[in-house]
Structure 1
Amino acid sequence: MKFSYLSLGPVSAVLLSLALISCSNEEPSQVNDQSPDASQSAAMAEPSVEPATANINSDRLLAADAEPGNWMAHGRTYGEQRYSPLTQISKDNVKDLGLAWSFDVEHQQGLEASPIVVDGVMYTSTAWSAVYALDAKTGKQLWHYDPEVPKEYNRYLCCSPANRGVAVWKGKVYIGTINGHLVALDAADGKVLWDVKTVDGAPYSITGAPRIVKDKVIIGNGGAEMGVRGYITAYDTETGEQQWRFYTVPGNPEKGFESKAMEMAAKTWTGEWWKLGGGGTAWDSMAYDPELNLLYVGVGNGSPWNRNIRSPEGGDNLFLSSIVAVRPETGEYVWHYQTTPADNFDYTATQHMILADIQMDGVLRKVIMQAPKNGFFYMLDRSSGEFLSAKPYVQVTWASHVDQETGRPVEDKSVTEFTERTQMVWPAPYGGHNWHPMAFNPNTGLVYIPAIEMPHFYNGRKEMDKERIWNLGMNWVKPPAEDNETILMNKKLTSGKLIAWDPAKQKPAWEVVYPTPGVGGMLTTAGDLVFHGVPQGKLMAYSASEGKQLWEAYTQTGVVAPPITYEIDGEQYVAVMAGWGGMFSLTGGTVFGKDEGPGPNRVLVYKLGANGSLPEQAKLVKEAPKPPAQTGTAAQIANGGALYDEYCQFCHGLHAVSGGVIPDLRHMSEASHQAFMGIVYGGMLKDKGMAAFNDHLTVSEVQDIHHYIIQRAIDSHGDERVF
């Protein structure tokens, strides 16, 4: 690991040309050799604060509304509303927002973090679990910590080495690393105070932000697609000693159960699920109600996805795709609600949860709200888990409705019961809403959802192929690359949305439609504003009550992270981590034009009257190298395409069309083509994120993949942005 403090600025990594086919792609998209402009100079100025101590405790966090100038927790408060009472920036003057400062970060994968701002210091994380402490007024770097996670760990990740933020508590900053460690740093200088391994090893991973309740730092993990058993764990904030662990799915009954909750859950499973892992990873969302003393945990999908393999004689498979309430002191189970019983489609319930008090039928109810992947917006009584209501917020075909009496979805059996029959299902496994946080404004009474309209073709297997890296029990179904008509049709069916959802009426108050999915997380304020970013490289502000667009700023790269707001010396700021990446940059195609791509990853901070600007972005050279001659047979190319879908598309894109962050394999240099076997089979770029696949692929199979990529380059040469 490494850390630095009081350094002069970010580090730009320049990689070897062979890294053009690395999954890591840590080289900057452009090299800027111009003189710093006003915003860059601000970040180089002397800091306005000393390295602070992040002195957050329970009393302070419980009274967060008394100091709205700080953003002290992931969702600002324990209720995770992502609402700020600050009013200096309002719908009347938001048009005067300008760039106050920017700060370039080192790693160039996608940015998903919510920064924490405490007493003038911003603490935030980047890809590969690095942490920065910055002067929140000027952007001056105070310190930087990099756990130096082995980049070959990339092969165990679902959707890039992203990180969604840190937690701060009593002078410490906590970060979960992509390879499963929880690290406590000294808030003053970034030095490591303790480091614990929270998982049993690969293929577990951590992308979510820790939460802290009653001097316990709580963290989950990911990896369900690769055959793991999920759990969430609490550690002592001072020592790192494990305090409790709550498993989300049962293990082998012959070994006994860790709790009565697991004994209960095991009755809802059949077969020998534990041999396949079970899944249920709690990889993101949590919330806490201090009055009820309940910690709410969102639980993910099954391993494998296909329930006919996972639990062949049926059963709901608790606690997959559930919200589970536990006691934060002990991890003791209190209640659960399962949004998708026997989940078959990767419909996780790990999406953002919000606590609020809502008038329903004339009664003020303490509710927990969630828009999980399955397409229904849920309201539950957060004290008991009682089902209150659920209505679709996007198109849904897997179920007709949620029964008001039972709280269970009414499945369309013609869609949900399948083995090897291909079905088009709404929503896709990306969900009607994914990790991108919602926000709730108590003044408007609306929840702002970054939603996704997208179908997906599912095709089940009769049995597991245990040689696969992704253990889904599914086949990947896609239109052929030459079937442009079907591809264009699918694109027309796909969009992103900002939905202003009225939870009391269970319907949208207004919505904005975008041409592509990947709409960024939300922030709403007492100034009647809602902020969010979009993949096309913009940060935008709307009227929270009416949905009228009031402001936008060009960010030079897609924005998926949620903005925050804070105040220093009487001035309100809006900040966002701008960096395109994650799942929607891996799905093939791109949101960028022929002469541009995602710019450098940055922290961008705005305030009223500021006039900073970003360095001019260099145009990309789009003259792809001439592909080598094809020497493979039709059978080899076809086999290579199938293998590419199995092992490569999750990083390099559908049909080998990159989304703009990971290198496009159709554009490899001559040297990269010559080194292809050494890279894919031999692991010569494992330190750049491209692990060796000699444990899953033979030499001839790697050669077939190369034949397929060459053919894709030949087919699309001269028109690189078309499938």
Structure 2
Amino acid sequence: MLAACAALLLAGCNNGDGIDAEALLGAGEDTANWITYGRDYAEQRFSPLDQINAETVGDLGLAWYADLDTRRGQEATPLVIDGKIYVTTAWSKVKAYDGKTGALLWEFDPQVPGETAVKACCDVVNRGLAAWGDKLFLGTLDGRLIALDRETGAQVWSEVTVDQSKAYTITGAPRVIDGRVLIGNGGAEYGVRGYVSAYDADSGDMLWRFYTVPGAPDEAADEPEYLARARETWNGEFWDLGGGGTVWDAMAYDAELDLLYIGVGNGSPWNQAYRSPGGGDNLYLSSIVALRPETGEYVWHYQSTPGETWDFTATQHIMLADLTIDGQQRKVLMQAPKNGFFYVIDRATGELISANNYTQVNWATGIDMATGRPIENPEARFDKTGRPFVSVPGAGGAHNWHPMAFHPDEGLVYIPVIEAGFPYFPEANWQPDRNRGFNVGIDQSAGAMPADEAVRRGAAAGTRGALVAWDPVTQTERWRVQYPGPWNGGLLATGGGLVFQGTAAGMFKAYSAADGRELWSFPAQTGVVAPSVTYTIDGEQYVAVMAGWGGIWALAPGGVLNETSGPVPNISRLLVFKLGGTAQLPPAPPLARRPIDPPAYTGNAAQLTRATYDFGRYCGACHGDAAIGSTVLPDLRRSAVLDNAQTWQTIVHDGALAANGMVGFSQSLSAERIEGLRQYVIFRANQDKELGGIGNQP
């Protein structure tokens, strides 16, 4: 329907006084507002605004800020509509502010149960809202899709979009096409089946659902053709743990072609030897899939990592553009997924036009252009060799959820690159745990950082990040800004010749879009991982960004690998800038952490071996590799209850702090194994107390 509407905007497709089809189709030209996640349906995150430019950016100052009430990772893209700014925060809360003054207009708390946190692989984050008519739409961590009145924040309707008895979550922003609200979900690390759904914006009724992987055998007789084809690429009892393929982030839309593009995630479990014994491509994992938004009908797909076994999702930012390639104008789709290759694809047909690695890659030597498949390094297939493999990139990806940006005048895509490896240790006789813990099919403890200062510093030195300006036509790097660490923020490009990015070390910066020169910076006092937006009110340009260190890198390996910047605190705020802004942040509070002062270790060797495995599988994703914790969640080496076995059991076994997200693990671990975890943390704390150095800063 919208394809016709694009040609006949004045003939209809209007949704009253609110956000309608015409507004969304014209979002790229609307310089006052930012009405959809990627600014326009093409998700280019480019604004033509140029009041703030290379000559004036030196006068950029803080206009106002708002402290938030959630001290977890902040990943949201604000929406700006008619002078008001709408944000989501951690725990799926929503707030509305006056975009000029910062006055709080309303707030909404969906009351996500604290115990939902254990289902979230990568922090209790939320990436934003969608708008249609006079409503805003929110996906909550516990799997609800909620419609809010945009003026008041009052709930209009709420629909549960997942089986809440399973480990589904929602962290991504919805999108709206012609009154259909599109929402996916996450949870493949824990054992679920992925899909994307469409809901009626007015009523909340589900209109269609597109599954990304086939289901149990008893569903085969009734499944659509695209799933029947996919079933031929799977082996074994793959449905037992869901198969994975969650659609947890990227979407884009071409109104002229009337195609919705979704990015599909990793397999469940990661290790294909357990997920699909004997191999197979396992469609539609790690794929971009084109659908009809009115019906959810499959049109085409491109799979970037067939038979994926490394958590190489294709849920990363999908971006549309028209490029001149070999003298021909091409309508393309671009993606830099986790696997380290940049893809340019014909968005009408799914044909691969070109691909090249945008960072160091060792799991493959390139892409076979005849087949579109990666040329794999046989040693990378730990699922087949049974031997460990240190892959570059690793499970965190060469690029994760952080959005890219495109500058049409420069012809460049700006990529927030992660330079980090990951050790995959296949686990013999691995068994899933349907209650708690990651179900990934590898030994998550085997690659934990040892108590060796030289090894830790070597790992830190080899783990970096970069802002890379990539030419998608030539598939080459134009310039880069090197960072000492990974997990730097999403990007915004502007007509002022600027690229804005926050850093993991706590700065918000503006660079020249042409050559990467740093032109301006602001000390945000916390890591900035979210992308920024820009808008105008009364002819004045503003830039807004959510600040607040968090996400999987902050929680899991971050405490080990932050040698250069030191520990980064979480101070969650919305920061808004303008030329001549004079507001000041309060002085940064000191980062106060308990010293590492554990009791004596009283465990034994067998207990320590078992507990080392248990910590890697059940605890490390939140409390850090080798128990070196972050500043976002408790660093257990510093815990006040380490010397109290009974209190430890009350928390870890019984779930006394479930309301805060720390659920009990009695369904998976006996009291004896939970005591073993206490002894493991005591052992590690004593090691690090003696060691000092990296990961042990005050």
Q: TM-score, normalised by structure 2?
A: 0.94
Please, which runs of 5 or more residues in structure 1 have no aligned partner?
1-52
Whole-Å separation in 2 of the counterparts to 1:595 and 1:271? 46
Partner of 1:546: 515
Q: Partner of 1:603 in structure 2?
A: 574
> What is the aligned counterpart of 1:79 among 22, 38, 42?
42
Moved more, 587-596 or 450-459: 587-596
SS in 2 for 1:485: helix
In 2, the alpha carbon distance for the partners of 1:673 and 1:359 equals 67
- For residue 380 of structure 2, give the secondary structure of its aligned residue in structure 1: helix
Q: Partner of 1:474: helix, strand, or coil?
A: coil
Using the alignment, how far apart are the partners of 1:80 and 1:531 within structure 2? 16
Match of residue 640 from structure 1: 611
CA distance in 1, matches of 2:426, 2:596: 39
Give deviations 1:143-190, integer Å, cap 9, x for gaps. 100111110111111011100001111010110000100000111111
1:440/1:150 CA distance change after superposition, 3 Å: same
Indicate which of 445, 466, 477 corresponds to 1:497: 466
Structure 2: 5+ residue stretches without partners: 1-15
Residue 112 of structure 1 is matched in structure 2 by 75
1:376 aligned to which of 341, 345, 357: 341
SS at match of 2:544: strand
Q: CA deviation at 1:721?
A: 4.4
CA distance 1:287–1:665, change in 2 (3 Å): same
Aligned match for 2:632, one of 641, 658, 661: 661
**Identity among equivalent pairs (%):** 49
**Structure 2 match to 1:359:** 324
Question: Once the 2 structures are TM-superposed, how far is the Cα of residue 594 of structure 1 from its aligned partner?
Answer: 9.8
SS at match of 1:193: strand
Instruction: Give the aligned partner of residue 341 of structure 1.
Output: 306
Q: Do 2:653 and 2:664's aligned partners in 1 also have CA atoms closer than 8 Å? A: yes
Tell me the equivalent position of 1:219: 183
Within 5 Å, which residues of 2 pair with 1:642-721? 642-670=613-641, 673=644, 675-717=647-689, 719=692, 721=694
Distance 1:227 1:156, change over 3 A: same
CA distance in 2 between counterparts of 1:426 and 1:495 reads: 12
Matched, 1:562 2:531: yes
> Aligned equivalents of 2:61 and 2:566: distance in 1?
26
SS at match of 1:244: strand
Q: How does 1:159-198 map to 2 (within 5 A)?
A: 159-198=122-161
Task: Pick closer, same or farther for the CA change 1:672–1:261 going to 2, 3 Å.
Answer: farther
Contact 1:595/1:621 (CA < 8 Å) preserved in 2? no
1:423 equivalent in structure 2:
389
Cα deviation 1:326-375 (Å, max 9, x = unaligned): 00000000000000000010100000011000111111100000000000
| Conserved 8 A contact 1:143-1:189 | yes
Q: Choose the corresponding residue for 2:206, options 242, 258, 263.
A: 242
**Which residue is 1:438 aligned to?**
404
Matched with 1:402 is: 367
Letter of the 2:587 counterpart: E
Structure 1 255/117 Cα, relative in aligned 2: closer, same or farther at 3 Å? Answer: same
Structure 1 equivalent of residue 489 of structure 2:
520
User: Aligned AA for 1:398?
Assistant: W
SS at match of 2:182: strand
2:192·2:242 contact (CA, 8 Å) conserved in 1?
Answer: yes
Counterpart of 1:229 in structure 2 is 193
Given that 1:397 and 1:427 are in contact with CA atoms closer than 8 Å, whether structure 2 keeps it comes out as: yes
**CA contact 2:340–2:360 (8 Å) conserved in 1:** yes
Tell me the CA shift for residue 269 of structure 1.
1.1
Equivalent residue for 1:47? none
**Matched letter for residue 388 of structure 2:** T
SS for the counterpart of 2:456 is: helix
Q: 2-side partners of 1:589 and 1:700: how far apart?
A: 29
Rounded to whole Å, the distance in 2 between the matches of 1:479 and 1:152 is: 26
Matched residue pairs, number?
671
1:690–1:138: structure 2 CA closer, same or farther, 3 Å change rule? same
In structure 2, relative to structure 1, the CA distance for the partners of 1:359 and 1:652 (3 Å cut) is same
Aligned residue identity for 1:413: P
C-alpha spacing 1:196/1:623, structure 2 compared with 1 (3 Å): closer
Find the aligned partners of 2:629 and 2:486 in 1 and give their Cα distance: 16
Which moved further from structure 2: 471-480 or 617-626?
A: 617-626
Q: CA offsets per residue over residues 226-251 of structure 1, 9 Å max, x none?
A: 11110000000000000000000001
TM-score calculated relative to the size of structure 1 = 0.90
In structure 1, how many angstroms separate the alpha carbons of the residues matched to 2:162 and 2:284? 19
Moved more, 595-604 or 78-87: 595-604
Rounded Cα–Cα distance in structure 2 between residues aligned with 1:419 and 1:596 = 38
Q: Match for 1:507: what amino acid? A: T
- TM-superposition CA deviations, 1:82-135 (whole Å, max 9, x none): 000101000111111000000011111000000000000111100110000111
2:351 maps to 386
Q: Distance in 1 between matches of 2:590 and 2:564?
A: 10
Corresponding residue for residue 431 of structure 2:
465
Code of the aligned partner of 2:308? D
Q: Secondary structure at the match of 1:451?
A: strand
Query: How far apart are the structure 1 equivalents of 2:552 and 2:593?
Result: 24
| Aligned residue in 1 for 2:8 | none
**Farther off after superposition, 58-67 or 101-110:** 58-67
| Aligned twin of 1:153 | 116
Offset of 1:596 from its aligned partner? 6.7
Deviation string, structure 1 residues 563-584 (Cα, Å, up to 9, x no partner): 0000000110000000000011
Q: Do the aligned partners of residues 670 and 345 (structure 1) sit closer, same or farther apart at CA in structure 2, a change above 3 Å counting?
A: closer
